[in-house]
Amino acid sequence: MEKIKCHIRVNSPFARIAAKVMGVKGIAMVLGRTIHLYGASRLEFLSNIAWLRHEACHLLQYRQYGYAGFMCRYLWESARRGYYNNRLEVAARLAENDQHILNRIEIL
């Protein structure tokens, strides 16, 4: 399977809103094929392998479900189970230990 080519956007206004909602200082969120960061630098993100793998899993989920499909599932899961038990988040947390997942993405 072809690698997902993705981008990083630092100081993202979308991630800033997410950080505020979540009550955290630093956050990464994936929208399509862009990883939006707020409160963390590109280098901080790239040097945190578990964090990278986590977001790589979300990139793969977008590829699997499509943009709207991911969004619908994510919002539904969050409303039904909350953030922590959202199945897309459970999968992404498991992916933090996946030694191969980063082979499936390419950060431009």
Where helices occur in the chain by DSSP H, the ranges are 13-22, 42-46, 49-65, 67-85, 87-95
Where does this chain touch Zn ion (CB under 5 A) — which range of 35-43, 70-78, 79-87, 88-96? 88-96
Tell me: does residue 92 bind Zn ion (CB under 5 A).
Answer: yes
Nearest to 107 by CA among 39, 38, 37: 37
Residue nearest to Zn ion (CB): 92
Candidates 18-26, 40-48, 64-72, 85-93; binding stretch for Zn ion (CB under 5 A) = 85-93
What is the distance between the alpha carbons of residues 13 and 29, in angstroms, rounded to a whole number? 11
What's the closest the beta carbon of residue 5 comes to Zn ion, in angstroms? Answer: 20
Name the residues that contact Zn ion, by CB under 5 A. Answer: 89, 92
